[in-house]
Structure 1
Amino acid sequence: MKSPLAGTGLVIWTALRTGWRSATAWILGLVLMYLVTGFSIAALYDTPEKLATYAASLGDSMIMLDGRVAGIDTLGGVMMNEFAFIVGFAIPIMAIALTARSTRREEETGRLELLLSARIGRLAPVTAALVVVAGIFVLLGAGIWAATLTIPVDRTGAAYYAASLVATGWVYAAATAVLAQILAHNRTVWATGLALTGLTLVTRGIGDTEENWISWTSPLGWHGLVRPFGDPTVVPLLVAVAAAGALAAVALWLSGRRDVGAGMMPARTGPATASRWRGSGVGVAVHQHLGSLVGWTIGVVALMSMYGALMDVVVEAIVSNPALAGFLLESPALVDALVQMLVVFVGILGAGFVLQTLAGLRGEETSGRLELELSTGRSRWSWLALHTVVVAVGAVVVVAAGSTAFALTTAIALDDPGSVGRIVAAGAWQIPAVLVFAGLSVALFGVVPRMQVLAWALFVAAAVVTFMGPTLRLTEAQMRVSPFGAVGMAPVGPVDSTGVAVLLVLTVVLVAAGLVGFRRRDVPRT
């Protein structure tokens, strides 16, 4: 009888051979962003006086987004604070993407069953996935630490910071491995993983804002509690490593007690015969994307409701800061500036929904399900067009729901009912920016499907330009290169009608290119 771990080394080698490109892209992308951030901050805050000014001007206003960063009056602390937004999303998404790819996606396509039919043990695939992803995060941590060698930050703090990033990634990777054993579909693993990411952002934000025990319920909270550039402590690191180990053990235990191709939670079966609606092209598209839409909508509404509910805490923190109180009293638009930043965040979340959902079209093709659908006489054009429309409508729902939830909770927190309409309208102007990413994903799928993941890289670049533009000292014209900046600065400033028009035209052109390319290429295309 073969060992449950037989062939683990072979599976690890296979995973590295097939997944090294995506792993390299993640590592290089995050390290380069950290380097750019570090160089910009080092040049901008090159004296103790400037660092003290940064710490005084920041106060507690950004804790709900970035967490509470210790040592904010040091160069390392400023870098950690400026990079915190990227860490809060990139580390969990990186863990979900790499782990789901090596577990549930391989199983859903049938490749895992082929491996297990050979001399491969039952637990080898999950073990290999965890080992590979853990190693990738170690390389990321090493890259981040090496990047700090070029910047004058505390060496001990840099080591703690890199280690905390690695440990945080391990927790999310192990949690994703557990989800891959429970849930039967890759898209469900993604949706649930992203929902858990949003939940940990919320608990970190609440705990760090109120400075209470809730921070200890979030892996992102543990990352901040390490306090690498303040008074470093190893306890949160040990908690993260222990949690990752426990979750990995659970994933292995579940893997040995379920059927191959199934999850511990059985997939819900539909009726024996489909209704006319369910059998139509629109019905199929809606059914396929409904779960993702519901999950994203609930997550975005919960997250933005939390941010809106904390607006009074943020404003009070700014008012209590002597350096900003006078400015706030003289410029009520500062509150609108905070609102604008968070409305853009809703747009970024909407774009994330679009890219994650449209990425599932490639899975339909590689799994063979698309060929079955097209064999019924459905045209390629109508198939892709219907899916694009359904996802675009879903993006409008996600953005509108998130903006409305944020508007209502902000109005309650600030006792300003008149702000509801202004905030909802500002959120609506983010929709053209979201739709252009839908067009980009469809164009890549239709023309060069293997490069569809490139849309994520451009999305990350746009988010970095939007949120880190001031830190990187980008000009206003440079920041408008991002779709989220091209629509204007509502409610702080006027809407850029030209930018909106350009984005809408670009979306139409990209979708048309995708439709034409899809009609002309082979299906499936490897």
Structure 2
Amino acid sequence: MWRNSRGTGYLLRANLKQNLKFSLIWIVILVMMIASGATKMVALFGGPKTDLADMKHMLTMPGMAGVFGAIPKGVPLNSATVFAGIMMVFMVILDAIYIIPLMVKDTRGQEESGLLEMVRARTVGRTAAVMAAVWELLITSVVLFVLYSGSLMAINLQGADLNGNILFGLVLALANVFFGAVALLLAQLASTAQGAEMWSYVILTATYLIRLVTDIQNQKLTWLSPIGWAQKTNAYTDNNYWPVLMLAVVALVLAGGAVVIARTRDLGTGILPERAGRARAAGWLRSVPALLLRTERGLLAGWLISAVLMGAILGSVLGGAGDVLKSNPLYRKLLDVSQINAASLQMTLAYMAMFVLVFVCLAVVAGAQLVGKLKSDEEKGYLGIVHAEKPTRTTISLSYYFLGLIFSAIIYVVAIVCLYYSGNTTVSEPLPSKYLVRMLVAGLPAVLAFVSLAAAIIGVIPRISGLFWVYMGAGLIVEMFGPILNLGRNAGKFSPFGWLNQAPVHALENGWLWTMLVIVVVGVVAGVVGYRERDVA
């Protein structure tokens, strides 16, 4: 055992130094999210009573429970309980998005780059890389726990206590450990680092969708999702520590499995069998776009499946959105049938507008991930062979950019179409096709604008590509949480998320449409020129 883990300390120090900037940026973002959300809650509960009443009404709607998480019934609504109900699910997802690529990079990523092979040539054990990643995971999680809990103690939410603050920080830290352990295990099972990362995100998406459906349909079944475990702690109310223990035990089993597999696994291979390729490549693979499409087909298929599932599942809950008004005896007394139906339609459209934000984000992540392959493939040396052949830098960069744009557009269209037609099967009166057109017209330019910005950054200054995710995340957070946190109406206008004009509730304004189309053209041109002029990594 000791011989297999020999050199763990050396690799741990190297990982911490190498990932310092990445981790610091993410930790600052995560802690700022906690602090800003708590601060806004304090301000909101100390503000006008009308704002508080509107927020309480909003939190009882099924769509809110689906997207943000259900607040336990019968719990007094104060700044602490509302903060926990709204922020818990969101922060667990952000933690997972931070830790998954880090764990894959520290294990299979180092194998594919050839670094681990050189290190293993010295007196370094077989499991040292995995053990170093586990220790880094624990260290970063402890840091997050201290900062999360400390921030909440400093802000002093109404209804909060020391036990609740510690539990909230602890469950987020352990959720970070859980999804990090998932990534570590998949890094040993998958045949490539990209496959490990993709399947980690698939599991994250699946746990979120299970939690979403169960929170709306039957909250007792939320225990089926690890994200639901974090919710079931009921911080600031019951302060239930059993879900914390569940997360810790399952994470320990997953991490232990990764270590056991690493002890016997051959370097550079996965446990899951890799399908043998053809002895001779097809003739249509001679172009750069065809080669890229062939190598990334698994990534594309995974995102398409996610788009179909999310569109169908989110559409299936639309019928319950409008029924909130129809089943309310007070509204039935005050309004006639036509007025109730009109109000029900507006509520359904409001939920669809929230889902549009989710699908724009989904499509952008997929497209930007493909565009970002230009940077990673260049750093790994994969493009060296391509550069040695006839294709020019313009051809190579345009292949990545256009495929990213096309793929993100397909993902968005598929998700929206599934949402629309799935939703129409659940509502009493089918939604007119004009609302489908509004969602497509508003969302597609926003998706393409974001992906073109990613292309410009990758082409011109690839070393700051991480700022793109910060920018996109900030825009999504402000747009989704703006009404709850009582932000200004135009607070989200600094990103395309804020230009959607709540489609399909309203049609997209022509000015913003042309603005986004100009950004697409400028972004792609800047990305091509920048890649052509800069030095190859």
- Asked if Structure 1 and Structure 2 have the same fold, meaning a TM-score greater than 0.5 normalized by the shorter chain, the answer is yes
Contact 2:185 2:255 in 1 (8 A): yes
- Superposition deviation, residue 56 in structure 1: 4.2
- Superposition deviation, residue 430 in structure 1: 0.8
Other-structure match for 1:59: 60
Counterparts of 1:435 and 1:413 in 2: how far apart (Å)?
31
Contact 2:312 2:422 in 1 (8 A): yes
Tell me which of 260, 265, 268 is aligned to 1:258: 265
Contact 2:435 2:504 in 1 (8 A): yes
Contact 2:96 2:176 in 1 (8 A): yes
Other-structure match for 1:514: 527
Other-structure match for 2:443: 430
Other-structure match for 1:78: 82
Other-structure match for 1:68: 70
TM-score (norm 1): 0.94
- Superposition deviation, residue 480 in structure 1: 2.3
Which digits, 9 at most, give the CA deviation of each residue in 1:175-234, with x for residues without a partner? Answer: 111110111222212221111111001111122223355322211000000111221111
Range 45-54 or range 351-360, more displaced:
45-54
TM-score (norm 2): 0.92
1:178 aligns with 2:185: yes
Other-structure match for 2:91: 87
Tell me which of 360, 366, 374 is aligned to 1:361: 374
- Superposition deviation, residue 95 in structure 1: 2.0
2:215 alignment partner AA: D
Equivalent residues in 2 for 1:26-65, closer than 5 Å = 26-46=26-46, 54-61=55-62, 62-65=64-67
Equivalent residues in 2 for 1:452-463, closer than 5 Å = 452-463=465-476
Range 98-107 or range 325-334, more displaced:
325-334
Equivalent residues in 2 for 1:248-397, closer than 5 Å = 248-317=255-324, 319-320=326-327, 329=340, 331=343, 332-397=345-410
1:288–1:10 Cα change, 3 Å: same
Counterparts of 2:386 and 2:126 in 1: how far apart (Å)?
33
- Superposition deviation, residue 52 in structure 1: 6.7
Contact 2:215 2:222 in 1 (8 A): yes
Contact 1:347 1:427 in 2 (8 A): no
Which digits, 9 at most, give the CA deviation of each residue in 1:47-66, with x for residues without a partner? Answer: 79675763344214211112
Contact 1:15 1:132 in 2 (8 A): yes
1:134 aligns with 2:138: yes
Range 53-62 or range 86-95, more displaced:
53-62
Other-structure match for 1:498: 511
2:145 alignment partner AA: G
Point out 4+ residue stretches in structure 1 off by more than 6 angstroms.
47-50, 322-328
Aligned alpha-carbon RMSD (Å): 2.2
- Superposition deviation, residue 159 in structure 1: 1.1
Identity, in percent, stands at 25
Other-structure match for 2:122: 118
Other-structure match for 1:152: 156
1:488 aligns with 2:501: yes
1:464 aligns with 2:465: no
Contact 1:433 1:503 in 2 (8 A): yes
Counterparts of 2:40 and 2:396 in 1: how far apart (Å)?
46
Which digits, 9 at most, give the CA deviation of each residue in 1:282-315, with x for residues without a partner? Answer: 2112113322121011112212211111222333
1:404–1:22 Cα change, 3 Å: same
Contact 2:311 2:416 in 1 (8 A): yes
1:45–1:319 Cα change, 3 Å: farther
1:216 aligns with 2:216: no
Other-structure match for 1:12: 12
1:200 alignment partner AA: T
Tell me which of 92, 103, 114 is aligned to 2:107: 103
Look up the SS of the partner of 1:256 in the other structure.
Answer: helix
Other-structure match for 1:194: 201
Counterparts of 1:138 and 1:183 in 2: how far apart (Å)?
28
Contact 1:171 1:243 in 2 (8 A): yes
Counterparts of 2:48 and 2:143 in 1: how far apart (Å)?
32
1:245 aligns with 2:252: yes
2:458 alignment partner AA: F
Contact 2:322 2:347 in 1 (8 A): no
Q: Which runs of 5+ in 1 are unaligned?
A: none
2:467 alignment partner AA: L
1:40–1:323 Cα change, 3 Å: farther
Range 152-161 or range 367-376, more displaced:
152-161
Counterparts of 2:325 and 2:87 in 1: how far apart (Å)?
21
1:317–1:99 Cα change, 3 Å: farther
Q: Which runs of 5+ in 2 are unaligned?
A: none
- Superposition deviation, residue 122 in structure 1: 0.5
1:411–1:372 Cα change, 3 Å: same
1:471–1:150 Cα change, 3 Å: farther
Counterparts of 1:30 and 1:409 in 2: how far apart (Å)?
34
Aligned length in residues: 524
Counterparts of 2:428 and 2:196 in 1: how far apart (Å)?
39
1:100–1:78 Cα change, 3 Å: same
Which digits, 9 at most, give the CA deviation of each residue in 1:252-275, with x for residues without a partner? Answer: 111112110111123333212222
Contact 1:11 1:128 in 2 (8 A): yes
Other-structure match for 1:440: 453
